[in-house]
Amino acid sequence: SKDDEAHDEL
Amino acid sequence: MNIFRLAGDMTHLISVLVLLLKIYATKSCSGISLKTQELYAMVFLARYLDLFSDFISLYNTVMKLVFIGSSLAIVWCMRYHRVVRRSYDRELDTFRYWILVGACFTLALVLHEKFSFQEVFWAFSIYLEAVAILPQLVLLQRSGNVDNLTGQYVFFLGAYRAFYILNWIYRYLTEPRFTRWISCVSGLVQTALYADFFYYYFISWKNNAKLQLPA
């Protein structure tokens, strides 16, 4: 899903 | 978000604030490597290309803006601020970092999570950050005694990625499909590069002496 691809860490 | 990652982000923020304090309070950037600051500006610009496309959270967006803004402001200050620029150790800060930039970008073209513009630049930023401290460590060795704020700046900058390693272990143990090999391996290399600095920093703290890195 999308959130898997987006890098959620800085 | 977990406590390790929050501690890491806060430690990273502290390192930026300590550097800004040093430059603003002493109106001097002696002992600071402009090359490392420029590498970090590249790291943030390459990593946060998704700033406007992927909204994760207000915290995430604000921190990205803070890191991009502060790194560019510090580079501007060290290059163009009338007073600050005079204290830049130009003749000591001679690390030829384009070799690092080229190598990291080449590696990112080969090793990435997905072959897209954004992902290649993201991987590039991860590899580049791992080695971005090298010019600063070289400068510290050449410039002999290190003032307290500079030493604290480097210490917090190194400590933040160590917290991220704990964060990755925690996420690996708690999230079923968590694998971030690129970040993890680079983070380990990055933290390892600080090993000798941490050692001498600890010694100077224990002996309550000035931080001295062997030439």
**B50 three-class SS:** helix
H or E element, residue B150: helix B148-174
Helix (H) or strand (E) holding B140: helix B134-142
pLDDT value at residue B215: 76
- Best B54, B68, B119 member to test A by mutation, with max A CBs in 10 Å, is B54
Is the CB of A6 less than 8 angstroms away from the CB of B164? Answer: no
| Mutate which: B2, B44, B51, B56, vs A, most A CBs within 10 A | B56
Tens-digit pLDDT profile for chain B (215 aa)? 999 999 999 999 999 999 999 999 999 999 999 999 999 999 999 999 999 999 999 999 999 999 999 999 999 999 999 999 999 999 999 999 999 999 999 999 999 999 999 999 999 999 999 999 999 999 999 998 899 999 999 999 999 999 999 999 999 999 998 889 999 999 999 999 999 999 999 999 999 999 988 87
**Torsion over CA: B28, B32, B33, B34 (sign):** negative
What 3-state class would DSSP assign to B194? Answer: coil
- pLDDT for the residue B19: 98
The rounded distance, in Å, linking the Cα atoms of B33 and A7 is: 29
User: Which one-letter amino acid corresponds to residue B129?
Assistant: E
CA-derived radius of gyration, chain B: 17
